[in-house]
Structure 1
Amino acid sequence: MIRLILMHKTARTVHKWLMLLLGLQFVIWPVTGAYMVFMHIDYIHGDPLITNPQIKINPDKLQYSLAQLLQTYPHAEQISVGKLMEQDVYRFSIPSQTATQQVLLSAQTGERLSPLNQTTAIALAQYYYAGNEPIDEVSLLTDNPPFELSDRHLPAWRINFEHFSAPSIYISADSGLIVGKRHAFWRIFDWMFRFHVMDYGDAEEVDNLLLFWIALLSTFATISGLVLTYFRVFGRKNKRKPMYSKRKNIFKKRNHSGAA
């Protein structure tokens, strides 16, 4: 009996202090989890923001041959043929000691198209954007990109459109490819995910010791809560049994007296 009382007091103390410490995070977890579950992941990724036109390339119409490209750029690597809106283009990289350079080349004339100017970037954004809202802001990012774009995509053009979700399309200035599509709900999702995994420091950090310790303490809080639930449920049943027996005896005595 003494052991049960001690267990009850210990569980109550542990649960009380742990929940005071972890209570806010316990509220954050269901709220952030609900947002991430209810929001469709394709919408969060920004897929509805852009159209995906069918890419059809006729090799016979590539007037600037691959042999000519290699003659002009003998160190070209990872050569691919693609589209820049309706224009056939070559995309390839040229390695160097400092950094790999991305090159965009016309497959008709051999003219180098990269880096893209602002006019071309705007035309590309309007070509791929699924909406019809006007452009709000255009900026060229060369360093210190926002958290929603990796610096490996720099330099890149950011084109913002006038919409309540504040959509932004990022286009690589070197390749002409869309390297990012973001909106307000993605940005909220990103913060929700950070709060959910308790990433309150560097977003690039892989090992999160804070999450580990909070999860461990939460386990103890849950176990102590289950112990308290056990005492609350079964403790009341045990208390009711003596009271029921006592009332039953009193009822018998009254019946016996009445019969006498």
Structure 2
Amino acid sequence: MKRIRLSPLIFRRIHKWVGLILGLQFILWALSGSMMALLNADAVGGHDGPAMHVMPVSTDGLIDLATMLAGRPVSGLVLRDLAGRPVYEVSDGTGTRLLDATTGRRVSVDRQLASDVAAHGILKQVKGVSFLAKPNLEARDHPGAMWRVDFLDPENTSAYISATTGRLLVTRGDTWRTWDFFWMLHNMDYVNRSSFNHPLIIFVAFCVLWLSGTGFYLLFKSFRKTDFRWLTPRPKSRVEGAA
């Protein structure tokens, strides 16, 4: 059987092409990191939208809570504002539901209510409302069904409202969408855009490690002692000494 001899030439060829491919990714890392740093953090936003919709709750004319629950045990109970009216957010073994705090009736988060919640307290015109059975990439951190309310403004802002609780989950705009695109390039998660521990980036990390190791090996194979002769001082010739 003929032995396969791994010569420096083979390593050099593989090193060259792997370096080219990884070099392109290094450019993407530098470009995406620079773009994310240059974007205005306040304009990116999209992280503290719910705090903007916190409204005081009127406690006048509220129905008796014991009558409303009829003795049923609950695991959570919150009185809060929902587009200008007080509601109880009740959680029990069957899930979470909303009850009108003045009438006791069940509140359903429909298209109109989602629009009212998103636009409550802000001066923006609603452009459209669409229902999402599951979150899209923009609202990927929030599970469950939701409503997307699009506004007519320079940022093309979209507000995401929970179809269960009617809470404002998050807001997104064009600046955030630009940031999120470069974030995808930076962490190489082209599907979910959220993880640094996916197989692709782990594979690239090992390729970078291999590239460093072969580069160190080829460093010693590419130089000889004669290449460093200029570093050692030359002895003076006899003619120069006689002069």
Same fold per superposition (TM over 0.5): yes
Give the SS at the match of 1:25: helix
* C-alpha separation in 2, matches of 1:172 and 1:36: 29
Write out per-residue CA displacement over residues 18-77 of structure 1, whole angstroms, 9 at most, x where no aligned residue: 212322212111122223344455643425767625544466x36212212211x82544
Q: What TM-score do the two structures reach when normalised by structure 2?
A: 0.75
User: How many percent identity over aligned positions?
Assistant: 26
Give the SS at the match of 2:131: strand
Q: 1:24 to 1:169 in 2, by over 3 A?
A: same
Q: By how many angstroms is 1:89 displaced?
A: 1.4
Write out per-residue CA displacement over residues 120-155 of structure 1, whole angstroms, 9 at most, x where no aligned residue: 3222222244xx4422222233x254322347331x
Higher helix share: 1
Write out per-residue CA displacement over residues 170-196 of structure 1, whole angstroms, 9 at most, x where no aligned residue: 112332210221122322333323322
Read off the aligned partner of 2:189 and give its amino acid letter.
D
**Which of the numbers 127, 137, 148 marks the counterpart of 1:136?**
127
Aligned to 2:239: 253
Give the SS at the match of 1:108: coil
**Which of the numbers 179, 189, 194 marks the counterpart of 1:199?**
189
Does structure 2 retain, via aligned residues, the 8 Å contact 1:62–1:88? no
Does structure 2 retain, via aligned residues, the 8 Å contact 1:116–1:176? no
Q: By how many angstroms is 1:168 displaced?
A: 0.2
Q: Which runs of 5+ in 2 are unaligned?
A: 1-5
Aligned to 1:125: 118
Larger radius of gyration: 1
Confirm or deny that 1:176 pairs with 2:174.
no
* C-alpha separation in 2, matches of 1:193 and 1:225: 29
Read off the aligned partner of 1:158 and give its amino acid letter.
R
Q: Which runs of 5+ in 1 are unaligned?
A: 1-5
Aligned to 2:3: none
Q: By how many angstroms is 1:91 displaced?
A: 0.6
Confirm or deny that 1:82 pairs with 2:80.
yes
* C-alpha separation in 1, matches of 2:68 and 2:49: 35
What is the correspondence of 1:50-199 to structure 2 with a 5 Å cutoff?
52=52, 55-57=55-57, 61=60, 63-71=62-70, 74=72, 76-96=74-94, 100=95, 102-118=96-112, 120-129=113-122, 132-141=123-132, 143-150=133-140, 152-154=143-145, 156-199=146-189
What is the correspondence of 1:42-57 to structure 2 with a 5 Å cutoff?
43-47=43-47, 52=52, 55-57=55-57
Q: Is 205-214 or 20-29 further displaced after alignment?
A: 205-214
* C-alpha separation in 2, matches of 1:160 and 1:80: 28
Aligned length: 237
Query: How large is the Cα RMSD of the aligned pairs?
Result: 3.8
Does structure 2 retain, via aligned residues, the 8 Å contact 1:153–1:179? no
Give the SS at the match of 1:121: helix
Q: By how many angstroms is 1:90 displaced?
A: 0.3
